[in-house]
A and B are shown apart, each in its own frame.
Chain A
Amino acid sequence: MEIEISAAGGFAGIAAAGMHKRIDPDALAPPLARQLREAFAPDALARIAAAPCRTCPDGLSYRITVTETETRSFTLREGQLPPEMLDLIDRL
């Protein structure tokens, strides 16, 4: 599994101010790897993406791409992601 996360948008409107991370859970400590595999499972991301979300002025937009046997991409608003998941992204 490989997880690629990039963020864009926000108050600045400057793409370069966003982040870009590529994570291989296998290279991380097993508890964190397990947490990541669960949180970023394509089905879990699809459920988050399907929920309507209030637009948040100046909010960020995340592009998350997960590659297992196939590659799936999701665009998610910051306000759609649960805080625990945002904390996880910040830790990576």
Chain B
Amino acid sequence: MCLCLHASHHNPLHCIVPPYMLRVIALRGDPETAAMARMLLAEDEAMRAERAAHASPPPEGAPGLLPDPDICCPDRRIHDGEGRAALPGRLVRPEGAPPTGIADADLAYDASGHVFALFAEEYGRNSLDGRGMPLVATVRHRQNYNNAFWNGEQMAYGTGDGKIFRTFLDLSVIGHEMAHGVIQHSGGLIYENQSGALNEHVADVFGALSEQRVLRQSVHEADWLIGRGILAPGIDGRALRSMKAPGTAYADDLLGRDPQPWHMDGFNTTTDDNGGVHINSGIPNHAFYLFCAYLGGPSWHLPGRIWYRALQELNNPMASFTDWADQTLRTASTLAGQGSHEQQMLRRAWTLVGIRV
């Protein structure tokens, strides 16, 4: 479809670029180009833009693939939102400063350091953008806020309302949010439908690996839960999601049952939740767990390396589950060998969750 009807006369992109391409440009272009693409998308279909426009630098130079020789230390900047919505709030703990006595701020500080170390020491990545960007986080964001998010520039964590959630400062949650930053700066995955579920999936993978690495847990010692202990005491559940057994994390009168499928037969087609991004991520999540289980040992080693490198090499923000599975197999071939036992186990894992590779 052509966009020439409503586009600006001064716009070099107009009339040539189809919407699907504009969405990639909005995601990856430099600020000016991304803004232009967003404007064109807005004119095309006003509210579509909000989903695609998630600025991210282009993957040129692949900062994520070559270890940065200057990696040293994280530059953490933890802020206190003091219950309000304005970001980032009051800086309470910059890098190197002593504990604040604000439990949430100190947890965020320590956890950000662990996540930084996972990416730096295991995968050679210097911070979320691969170029040493500061790790900006806000704790105590808003009031009774039942959420945590990455807004494209920083992390934010609510305290929970005490009825459903008691906190969001759990290492798997913090690793998850920071991984959204890594994904954004690795070429991005558009946050809807299958590519959005992959965005959620990759965030869960590095959230789980952040925790397992700190606890030095092998695949069989780990619980593979995302957000263990963040549900309030009255809620009948162990966590928000389970990669080992998607669909079993909670079953509660108020929250209902964990809706995650583990197999493509249970794929949920919905317009809610950006096309079920937090639901269908259960399928690739389970494939990752199975692959790790087949290999044994620490999952942040080869499985984590394959997932990290596959993300750098994917170059497809609209990837489907099959596209992603194919990419992980190609990367496994590079890292472990074509036809290797590891690659065969990866193929087996994808096949078991119903993804043809």
Contacts and interface: CB of A to CB of B under 8 A. Distances in A.
A12 B240 contact: yes
Given A54-B55, A57-B180, A90-B144, A83 B87 contact: yes
A60 interface: yes
B143 interface: yes
Given A52-B42, A55-B51, A58-B177, A13 B146 contact: no
B53 A55 contact: yes
A15 B108 CA distance: 26
Given A8-B272, A13-B277, A54 B53 contact: yes
A53 interface: yes
B147 A11 contact: yes
B61 interface: no
Nearest to B55: A54
B39 A55 contact: no
Interface string A27-54: 0000000000000000000000110111
A25 interface: no
B148 interface: yes
Nearest to A59: B149
A9 B86 contact: no
Query: Which interface class (under 10, 10 to 19, 20 to 34, 35 or more) fits B?
Result: 35 or more
A17 B146 contact: yes
B146 A52 contact: no
Given A52-B53, A56-B152, A17 B39 contact: no
Interface residues of A, number: 34
A55 B279 contact: no
B28 interface: no
A52 B41 contact: yes
B146 A10 contact: yes
B54 A54 contact: yes
A13 B53 contact: no
Nearest to A76: B50
A57 to B, nearest CB: 4
Interface in A56-80: 56-60, 75, 77-80
B55 A90 contact: no
B5 interface: no
Contacts of A14: 164, 240, 255-256
A14 B160 CA distance: 13
Contact of A54 (B50, B83, B142, B165): B50
Contact of B47 (A11, A16, A49): A49
Nearest to B240: A12
B53 A10 contact: no
A16 B164 contact: yes
A60 B147 contact: yes
List the 6 closest A-B pairs by CB distance, nearest first: A13-B278, A86-B85, A83-B85, A52-B49, A53-B50, A10-B147
Interface of B: 38-39, 41-42, 46-47, 49-55, 83-87, 142-152, 164-165, 168, 173, 176-177, 180, 183, 191, 199-200, 203, 227, 240, 254-256, 259, 272-274, 277-279
5 contacts: A12-B227, A49-B46, A57-B150, A57-B203, A60-B147
